[in-house]
A and B are shown apart, each in its own frame.
Chain A
Amino acid sequence: MLELKKIKKQFNGRTILDNFDMQVKDNQITTIVGPSGAGKTTLLRCISGLEKIDSGSFTLDGKPFDPANNRDNDNVIGVVFQDFQLFPNLTVLDNITLAPQLVLKQSKTDAEKRAQKLIDQLNLTGKEGLYPYQLSGGQKQRLAIVRALAMNPKILCYDEPTSALDPDLRQTVEDIILGLKKQNVTQIVVTHDMEFAKNIADQLVRVEPIKA
Protein backbone atom coordinates (compact mmCIF):
# COMPACT_ATOMS: atom_id res chain seq x y z
CA MET A 1 0.00 0.00 0.00
CA LEU A 2 1.14 3.48 -0.88
CA GLU A 3 0.19 6.14 1.60
CA LEU A 4 0.38 9.91 1.11
CA LYS A 5 0.39 11.99 4.28
CA LYS A 6 -0.11 15.73 4.34
CA ILE A 7 1.45 16.23 0.94
CA LYS A 8 2.01 19.87 0.07
CA LYS A 9 3.07 21.10 -3.32
CA GLN A 10 3.50 24.68 -4.45
CA PHE A 11 4.52 26.30 -7.71
CA ASN A 12 6.10 29.73 -7.30
CA GLY A 13 4.41 30.20 -3.95
CA ARG A 14 1.04 29.08 -5.25
CA THR A 15 -0.30 26.06 -3.39
CA ILE A 16 -1.59 23.29 -5.64
CA LEU A 17 -1.81 20.48 -3.10
CA ASP A 18 -2.32 21.22 0.56
CA ASN A 19 -2.18 18.59 3.29
CA PHE A 20 -3.26 16.03 0.78
CA ASP A 21 -3.90 12.52 2.15
CA MET A 22 -4.52 9.41 0.12
CA GLN A 23 -4.16 5.66 0.31
CA VAL A 24 -3.52 3.49 -2.70
CA LYS A 25 -4.43 -0.10 -1.87
CA ASP A 26 -2.72 -3.02 -3.53
CA ASN A 27 -4.39 -4.62 -6.52
CA GLN A 28 -7.00 -1.91 -6.66
CA ILE A 29 -7.86 0.86 -9.07
CA THR A 30 -7.66 4.26 -7.46
CA THR A 31 -9.09 7.01 -9.59
CA ILE A 32 -8.22 10.63 -9.07
CA VAL A 33 -10.87 13.01 -10.29
CA GLY A 34 -11.31 16.75 -10.25
CA PRO A 35 -11.77 19.69 -12.57
CA SER A 36 -9.13 20.80 -15.01
CA GLY A 37 -6.32 22.69 -13.29
CA ALA A 38 -7.08 21.16 -9.89
CA GLY A 39 -3.67 19.52 -9.63
CA LYS A 40 -4.30 15.93 -10.71
CA THR A 41 -1.31 15.78 -13.01
CA THR A 42 0.80 17.46 -10.36
CA LEU A 43 -0.25 14.82 -7.84
CA LEU A 44 0.68 12.06 -10.27
CA ARG A 45 4.02 13.72 -10.92
CA CYS A 46 4.70 13.85 -7.18
CA ILE A 47 3.83 10.16 -6.81
CA SER A 48 6.08 9.20 -9.71
CA GLY A 49 8.92 11.37 -8.46
CA LEU A 50 8.91 13.85 -11.34
CA GLU A 51 8.10 16.68 -8.91
CA LYS A 52 9.55 17.16 -5.46
CA ILE A 53 7.00 17.75 -2.73
CA ASP A 54 7.37 20.73 -0.41
CA SER A 55 6.28 18.86 2.69
CA GLY A 56 4.48 15.74 3.82
CA SER A 57 5.54 12.15 3.41
CA PHE A 58 4.98 8.93 1.56
CA THR A 59 5.08 5.40 2.87
CA LEU A 60 5.17 2.29 0.73
CA ASP A 61 4.15 -0.93 2.47
CA GLY A 62 4.60 0.88 5.75
CA LYS A 63 8.15 2.03 5.04
CA PRO A 64 9.19 5.61 4.34
CA PHE A 65 9.32 6.21 0.61
CA ASP A 66 10.74 9.07 -1.41
CA PRO A 67 9.51 8.90 -5.00
CA ALA A 68 11.95 11.59 -6.14
CA ASN A 69 14.94 9.51 -4.97
CA ASN A 70 13.65 6.05 -5.56
CA ARG A 71 16.36 3.72 -6.86
CA ASP A 72 14.89 0.39 -5.75
CA ASN A 73 13.88 -1.59 -8.82
CA ASP A 74 11.28 -3.45 -6.77
CA ASN A 75 9.47 -0.15 -6.24
CA VAL A 76 9.05 1.19 -9.74
CA ILE A 77 6.18 3.61 -10.21
CA GLY A 78 5.17 3.26 -13.84
CA VAL A 79 3.61 6.12 -15.76
CA VAL A 80 1.48 6.22 -18.89
CA PHE A 81 1.73 9.86 -19.90
CA GLN A 82 -1.16 11.74 -21.37
CA ASP A 83 0.79 12.16 -24.62
CA PHE A 84 2.46 8.73 -24.13
CA GLN A 85 6.01 9.98 -24.76
CA LEU A 86 7.03 6.92 -26.70
CA PHE A 87 10.56 6.92 -28.05
CA PRO A 88 10.17 7.78 -31.75
CA ASN A 89 13.60 6.45 -32.70
CA LEU A 90 12.93 2.97 -31.35
CA THR A 91 10.70 0.22 -32.69
CA VAL A 92 7.76 -1.03 -30.69
CA LEU A 93 9.85 -3.92 -29.37
CA ASP A 94 12.82 -1.72 -28.50
CA ASN A 95 10.59 0.82 -26.76
CA ILE A 96 9.51 -2.01 -24.49
CA THR A 97 12.80 -3.83 -23.95
CA LEU A 98 15.18 -0.88 -23.60
CA ALA A 99 14.69 -0.21 -19.88
CA PRO A 100 14.35 -3.86 -18.80
CA GLN A 101 17.70 -4.53 -20.43
CA LEU A 102 19.51 -1.42 -19.26
CA VAL A 103 17.94 -1.06 -15.83
CA LEU A 104 16.74 -4.51 -14.78
CA LYS A 105 19.73 -6.10 -16.55
CA GLN A 106 17.56 -8.62 -18.34
CA SER A 107 19.19 -10.37 -21.29
CA LYS A 108 17.93 -9.37 -24.71
CA THR A 109 16.21 -12.71 -25.24
CA ASP A 110 14.67 -12.61 -21.80
CA ALA A 111 13.42 -9.05 -22.21
CA GLU A 112 12.00 -9.86 -25.64
CA LYS A 113 10.26 -12.97 -24.38
CA ARG A 114 8.57 -11.00 -21.62
CA ALA A 115 7.78 -8.16 -24.02
CA GLN A 116 6.16 -10.57 -26.45
CA LYS A 117 3.76 -11.81 -23.77
CA LEU A 118 2.64 -8.27 -23.02
CA ILE A 119 2.48 -7.42 -26.70
CA ASP A 120 0.15 -10.33 -27.32
CA GLN A 121 -1.91 -9.56 -24.27
CA LEU A 122 -2.45 -5.94 -25.27
CA ASN A 123 -3.16 -6.71 -28.86
CA LEU A 124 -0.03 -5.34 -30.47
CA THR A 125 0.98 -8.59 -32.11
CA GLY A 126 2.60 -8.01 -35.48
CA LYS A 127 3.57 -4.42 -34.65
CA GLU A 128 6.91 -5.30 -33.03
CA GLY A 129 9.05 -3.88 -35.83
CA LEU A 130 7.04 -0.73 -36.43
CA TYR A 131 7.98 2.71 -35.19
CA PRO A 132 5.60 4.71 -33.00
CA TYR A 133 4.61 7.06 -35.83
CA GLN A 134 3.20 4.04 -37.66
CA LEU A 135 0.75 3.24 -34.85
CA SER A 136 -2.78 4.50 -34.29
CA GLY A 137 -3.61 6.46 -31.15
CA GLY A 138 -4.99 3.43 -29.37
CA GLN A 139 -1.97 1.34 -30.32
CA LYS A 140 0.36 4.06 -29.08
CA GLN A 141 -1.40 4.05 -25.76
CA ARG A 142 -1.22 0.29 -25.48
CA LEU A 143 2.47 0.45 -26.27
CA ALA A 144 2.91 3.03 -23.52
CA ILE A 145 1.15 0.68 -21.12
CA VAL A 146 3.24 -2.31 -22.18
CA ARG A 147 6.44 -0.30 -21.90
CA ALA A 148 5.54 0.66 -18.34
CA LEU A 149 4.43 -2.88 -17.42
CA ALA A 150 7.70 -4.34 -18.68
CA MET A 151 9.39 -2.71 -15.69
CA ASN A 152 7.17 -4.71 -13.30
CA PRO A 153 5.91 -1.54 -11.62
CA LYS A 154 4.68 -1.61 -8.08
CA ILE A 155 2.02 0.85 -9.17
CA LEU A 156 1.00 1.89 -12.68
CA CYS A 157 -0.23 5.46 -13.10
CA TYR A 158 -2.22 6.87 -16.01
CA ASP A 159 -2.76 10.55 -16.74
CA GLU A 160 -6.07 11.13 -18.54
CA PRO A 161 -6.00 7.86 -20.46
CA THR A 162 -9.18 8.68 -22.36
CA SER A 163 -8.29 12.20 -23.39
CA ALA A 164 -6.13 11.51 -26.44
CA LEU A 165 -8.45 8.84 -27.81
CA ASP A 166 -11.59 8.64 -29.91
CA PRO A 167 -14.66 8.13 -27.70
CA ASP A 168 -15.21 4.63 -29.05
CA LEU A 169 -11.80 3.59 -27.71
CA ARG A 170 -12.81 4.49 -24.17
CA GLN A 171 -14.31 1.05 -23.68
CA THR A 172 -11.03 -0.57 -24.74
CA VAL A 173 -9.07 1.40 -22.15
CA GLU A 174 -11.59 0.40 -19.52
CA ASP A 175 -11.20 -3.24 -20.49
CA ILE A 176 -7.42 -3.02 -20.37
CA ILE A 177 -7.37 -1.40 -16.95
CA LEU A 178 -9.90 -3.84 -15.53
CA GLY A 179 -8.01 -6.72 -17.16
CA LEU A 180 -4.77 -5.65 -15.48
CA LYS A 181 -6.55 -5.43 -12.17
CA LYS A 182 -7.42 -9.11 -12.50
CA GLN A 183 -3.68 -9.71 -12.81
CA ASN A 184 -3.13 -7.82 -9.57
CA VAL A 185 -1.64 -4.66 -11.04
CA THR A 186 -2.11 -1.75 -8.66
CA GLN A 187 -3.28 1.23 -10.70
CA ILE A 188 -3.84 4.95 -10.25
CA VAL A 189 -5.93 6.59 -12.93
CA VAL A 190 -6.21 10.36 -13.24
CA THR A 191 -9.23 11.55 -15.18
CA HIS A 192 -11.70 14.37 -15.37
CA ASP A 193 -14.22 11.98 -16.90
CA MET A 194 -16.53 11.04 -13.99
CA GLU A 195 -18.37 8.30 -15.81
CA PHE A 196 -15.14 6.61 -16.82
CA ALA A 197 -13.83 6.96 -13.28
CA LYS A 198 -16.93 5.38 -11.77
CA ASN A 199 -16.81 2.48 -14.21
CA ILE A 200 -13.36 1.41 -13.14
CA ALA A 201 -12.83 2.74 -9.62
CA ASP A 202 -12.42 0.73 -6.47
CA GLN A 203 -11.70 4.01 -4.80
CA LEU A 204 -12.43 7.51 -5.96
CA VAL A 205 -10.24 10.38 -4.76
CA ARG A 206 -11.13 13.99 -5.39
CA VAL A 207 -8.63 16.76 -5.99
CA GLU A 208 -10.18 20.17 -5.58
CA PRO A 209 -8.67 23.43 -6.76
CA ILE A 210 -7.30 25.50 -3.89
CA LYS A 211 -8.51 29.09 -3.79
CA ALA A 212 -5.63 31.50 -3.54
Chain B
Amino acid sequence: MLHYVSQILPSLLSGAWMTIKIFFWTLIASIPLGILASLGLTSKIAPLRWILKFYVWLMRGTPLLLQLIFVFYGLPIIGIIFQRYDAALFAFILNYTAYFAEIFRGGFQSIDPGQYESARVLRLTRGQTLRKIVIPQVIKIVVPSIGNETINLIKDSSLVYVIGLGDLLRAGNVATARDVTLLPLVLVGIIYLLMTAVATYVLRKVEQHYRAWR
Protein backbone atom coordinates (compact mmCIF):
# COMPACT_ATOMS: atom_id res chain seq x y z
CA MET B 1 0.00 0.00 0.00
CA LEU B 2 2.83 2.33 0.85
CA HIS B 3 4.23 1.60 -2.57
CA TYR B 4 0.96 2.61 -4.17
CA VAL B 5 0.81 5.78 -2.07
CA SER B 6 4.30 6.78 -3.15
CA GLN B 7 3.22 6.12 -6.73
CA ILE B 8 0.23 8.42 -6.74
CA LEU B 9 1.55 11.01 -4.32
CA PRO B 10 3.47 13.06 -6.92
CA SER B 11 0.32 13.60 -9.00
CA LEU B 12 -1.70 14.43 -5.88
CA LEU B 13 0.93 16.89 -4.74
CA SER B 14 1.07 18.57 -8.10
CA GLY B 15 -2.72 18.85 -7.90
CA ALA B 16 -2.34 20.26 -4.41
CA TRP B 17 0.14 22.80 -5.77
CA MET B 18 -2.47 24.02 -8.24
CA THR B 19 -4.98 24.27 -5.39
CA ILE B 20 -2.51 26.25 -3.29
CA LYS B 21 -1.71 28.59 -6.17
CA ILE B 22 -5.37 29.38 -6.71
CA PHE B 23 -5.91 29.79 -3.00
CA PHE B 24 -2.91 32.03 -2.54
CA TRP B 25 -3.42 34.36 -5.49
CA THR B 26 -7.12 34.69 -4.82
CA LEU B 27 -6.46 35.68 -1.24
CA ILE B 28 -3.60 38.05 -2.09
CA ALA B 29 -5.71 39.85 -4.67
CA SER B 30 -9.17 39.71 -3.10
CA ILE B 31 -8.34 41.16 0.29
CA PRO B 32 -6.91 44.48 -0.93
CA LEU B 33 -9.50 44.63 -3.72
CA GLY B 34 -12.19 43.88 -1.15
CA ILE B 35 -10.97 46.78 1.00
CA LEU B 36 -11.05 49.10 -2.01
CA ALA B 37 -14.50 47.88 -3.01
CA SER B 38 -15.77 48.34 0.54
CA LEU B 39 -14.56 51.94 0.47
CA GLY B 40 -16.50 52.30 -2.79
CA LEU B 41 -19.58 50.74 -1.21
CA THR B 42 -19.56 53.48 1.43
CA SER B 43 -18.46 56.23 -0.95
CA LYS B 44 -20.30 59.53 -1.36
CA ILE B 45 -20.35 59.00 -5.11
CA ALA B 46 -23.75 57.42 -5.69
CA PRO B 47 -23.14 55.79 -9.11
CA LEU B 48 -20.00 54.12 -7.80
CA ARG B 49 -21.98 52.83 -4.84
CA TRP B 50 -24.75 51.47 -7.09
CA ILE B 51 -22.34 49.71 -9.41
CA LEU B 52 -20.53 48.06 -6.53
CA LYS B 53 -23.74 47.10 -4.79
CA PHE B 54 -24.93 45.46 -7.98
CA TYR B 55 -21.61 43.66 -8.37
CA VAL B 56 -21.68 42.35 -4.79
CA TRP B 57 -25.32 41.32 -5.15
CA LEU B 58 -24.55 39.44 -8.36
CA MET B 59 -21.48 37.67 -7.03
CA ARG B 60 -23.09 36.66 -3.76
CA GLY B 61 -26.42 35.76 -5.26
CA THR B 62 -25.18 33.31 -7.88
CA PRO B 63 -23.10 30.15 -7.43
CA LEU B 64 -19.36 30.42 -7.84
CA LEU B 65 -19.65 27.32 -10.01
CA LEU B 66 -21.88 29.21 -12.43
CA GLN B 67 -19.47 32.14 -12.46
CA LEU B 68 -16.60 29.81 -13.22
CA ILE B 69 -18.48 28.15 -16.10
CA PHE B 70 -19.59 31.54 -17.34
CA VAL B 71 -16.04 32.88 -17.49
CA PHE B 72 -14.48 29.82 -19.09
CA TYR B 73 -17.23 28.44 -21.34
CA GLY B 74 -19.51 31.45 -21.67
CA LEU B 75 -17.27 34.41 -22.34
CA PRO B 76 -15.53 32.84 -25.37
CA ILE B 77 -18.88 33.04 -27.15
CA ILE B 78 -18.54 36.80 -27.11
CA GLY B 79 -14.86 36.61 -27.93
CA ILE B 80 -13.32 36.82 -24.47
CA ILE B 81 -11.07 33.82 -24.14
CA PHE B 82 -9.24 32.84 -20.96
CA GLN B 83 -6.77 30.05 -20.35
CA ARG B 84 -8.14 27.59 -17.78
CA TYR B 85 -5.92 28.83 -14.99
CA ASP B 86 -6.59 32.50 -15.76
CA ALA B 87 -10.30 31.84 -15.96
CA ALA B 88 -10.21 30.17 -12.56
CA LEU B 89 -8.26 33.03 -10.98
CA PHE B 90 -10.46 35.65 -12.62
CA ALA B 91 -13.68 34.05 -11.39
CA PHE B 92 -12.34 33.37 -7.91
CA ILE B 93 -10.93 36.85 -7.41
CA LEU B 94 -14.14 38.43 -8.68
CA ASN B 95 -16.21 36.27 -6.38
CA TYR B 96 -14.10 36.54 -3.26
CA THR B 97 -13.56 40.28 -3.65
CA ALA B 98 -17.33 40.66 -3.37
CA TYR B 99 -17.50 38.63 -0.16
CA PHE B 100 -14.53 40.43 1.33
CA ALA B 101 -16.01 43.80 0.32
CA GLU B 102 -19.15 43.02 2.31
CA ILE B 103 -17.12 41.91 5.30
CA PHE B 104 -14.93 45.02 5.20
CA ARG B 105 -17.92 47.28 4.68
CA GLY B 106 -19.35 45.96 7.94
CA GLY B 107 -15.96 46.49 9.57
CA PHE B 108 -15.66 50.08 8.39
CA GLN B 109 -19.19 50.87 9.50
CA SER B 110 -18.50 49.73 13.02
CA ILE B 111 -15.68 52.26 13.48
CA ASP B 112 -16.73 55.15 15.71
CA PRO B 113 -16.99 58.32 13.58
CA GLY B 114 -15.21 60.06 16.46
CA GLN B 115 -12.04 58.24 15.44
CA TYR B 116 -12.02 60.06 12.11
CA GLU B 117 -12.70 63.35 13.87
CA SER B 118 -9.95 62.92 16.39
CA ALA B 119 -7.55 62.02 13.59
CA ARG B 120 -8.74 65.08 11.70
CA VAL B 121 -8.09 67.56 14.51
CA LEU B 122 -4.64 66.01 14.78
CA ARG B 123 -4.22 66.93 11.11
CA LEU B 124 -3.77 63.41 9.80
CA THR B 125 -4.59 63.05 6.12
CA ARG B 126 -7.36 60.71 5.04
CA GLY B 127 -4.79 58.16 3.90
CA GLN B 128 -2.88 58.33 7.17
CA THR B 129 -6.10 57.99 9.13
CA LEU B 130 -7.08 54.90 7.17
CA ARG B 131 -3.67 53.27 7.34
CA LYS B 132 -2.74 53.99 10.94
CA ILE B 133 -6.06 54.16 12.73
CA VAL B 134 -9.02 52.78 10.85
CA ILE B 135 -7.73 49.78 8.92
CA PRO B 136 -6.00 48.15 11.91
CA GLN B 137 -9.26 48.39 13.84
CA VAL B 138 -11.24 47.09 10.89
CA ILE B 139 -8.87 44.16 10.46
CA LYS B 140 -9.28 43.21 14.09
CA ILE B 141 -13.05 43.19 13.62
CA VAL B 142 -13.05 41.23 10.37
CA VAL B 143 -10.35 38.63 11.06
CA PRO B 144 -12.84 35.96 12.20
CA SER B 145 -15.07 36.39 9.12
CA ILE B 146 -12.08 36.59 6.80
CA GLY B 147 -10.90 33.39 8.44
CA ASN B 148 -14.14 31.60 7.62
CA GLU B 149 -13.94 32.73 4.03
CA THR B 150 -10.32 31.63 3.84
CA ILE B 151 -11.24 28.11 4.91
CA ASN B 152 -14.13 28.18 2.44
CA LEU B 153 -11.74 29.24 -0.29
CA ILE B 154 -9.53 26.19 0.21
CA LYS B 155 -12.57 23.97 -0.27
CA ASP B 156 -14.13 26.10 -3.01
CA SER B 157 -10.93 25.85 -5.01
CA SER B 158 -11.97 22.29 -5.89
CA LEU B 159 -14.67 23.81 -8.10
CA VAL B 160 -12.03 24.48 -10.75
CA TYR B 161 -12.48 20.81 -11.51
CA VAL B 162 -15.39 21.76 -13.71
CA ILE B 163 -13.24 23.71 -16.15
CA GLY B 164 -10.74 20.90 -16.38
CA LEU B 165 -7.97 22.35 -14.29
CA GLY B 166 -5.67 19.77 -12.72
CA ASP B 167 -6.19 20.52 -9.05
CA LEU B 168 -6.00 18.25 -6.03
CA LEU B 169 -9.52 16.91 -6.36
CA ARG B 170 -9.04 16.06 -10.02
CA ALA B 171 -5.77 14.28 -9.31
CA GLY B 172 -7.47 12.14 -6.69
CA ASN B 173 -10.49 11.42 -8.82
CA VAL B 174 -8.38 10.41 -11.80
CA ALA B 175 -6.37 7.97 -9.69
CA THR B 176 -9.47 6.49 -8.08
CA ALA B 177 -11.18 5.93 -11.39
CA ARG B 178 -8.07 4.42 -12.97
CA ASP B 179 -6.99 2.15 -10.13
CA VAL B 180 -10.42 1.36 -8.68
CA THR B 181 -9.43 2.16 -5.11
CA LEU B 182 -10.70 4.63 -2.55
CA LEU B 183 -7.26 5.42 -1.28
CA PRO B 184 -6.53 8.42 -3.53
CA LEU B 185 -9.75 10.13 -2.44
CA VAL B 186 -8.94 9.45 1.19
CA LEU B 187 -5.49 10.97 0.64
CA VAL B 188 -7.09 13.96 -1.04
CA GLY B 189 -9.26 14.44 2.03
CA ILE B 190 -6.21 14.26 4.27
CA ILE B 191 -4.34 16.84 2.18
CA TYR B 192 -7.33 19.22 2.33
CA LEU B 193 -7.46 18.74 6.09
CA LEU B 194 -3.76 19.55 6.33
CA MET B 195 -4.23 22.71 4.30
CA THR B 196 -7.18 23.90 6.38
CA ALA B 197 -5.22 23.09 9.54
CA VAL B 198 -2.33 25.28 8.41
CA ALA B 199 -4.72 28.09 7.49
CA THR B 200 -6.50 27.79 10.83
CA TYR B 201 -3.17 27.95 12.64
CA VAL B 202 -2.06 31.07 10.77
CA LEU B 203 -5.41 32.74 11.39
CA ARG B 204 -5.21 31.98 15.08
CA LYS B 205 -1.79 33.63 15.16
CA VAL B 206 -3.18 36.70 13.42
CA GLU B 207 -6.07 36.86 15.89
CA GLN B 208 -3.64 36.59 18.77
CA HIS B 209 -1.59 39.42 17.34
CA TYR B 210 -4.67 41.64 17.31
CA ARG B 211 -5.59 40.61 20.84
CA ALA B 212 -2.94 42.94 22.30
CA TRP B 213 -5.50 45.75 22.33
CA ARG B 214 -9.25 46.18 22.39
Interface residues of A (CB under 8 A from B): 48-50, 71, 73, 76-79, 81, 83, 85-90, 98-99, 102-103, 131-133, 147-148, 151
Contact = CB atoms under 8 A, between A and B. Distances in A.
Interface residues on B, range: 20 to 34
B123 interface: yes
Contact of B137 (A48, A85, A89): A89
Given A76-B123, A98-B124, 12 more contacts: A49-B120, A71-B123, A73-B123, A76-B121, A77-B121, A85-B117, A87-B119, A87-B133, A88-B213, A88-B214, A98-B132, A148-B121
Residue from A48, A102, A132, A147 with most neighbouring chain B CB atoms (10 Å): A102
21 contacts: A48-B121, A49-B121, A50-B117, A50-B120, A50-B121, A73-B123, A78-B121, A83-B114, A85-B114, A87-B115, A87-B132, A87-B133, A88-B137, A88-B214, A90-B132, A90-B133, A99-B122, A103-B124, A131-B213, A133-B214, A148-B122
Contacts of A77: 121
Contact of B124 (A49, A99, A148): A99
A87 to B, nearest CB: 5
Query: Would you call the interface of chain B mostly helix, strand, loop, or mixed?
Result: helix
Contacts of A73: 123
Interface of B: 112, 114-115, 117-124, 128, 132-133, 136-137, 140, 212-214
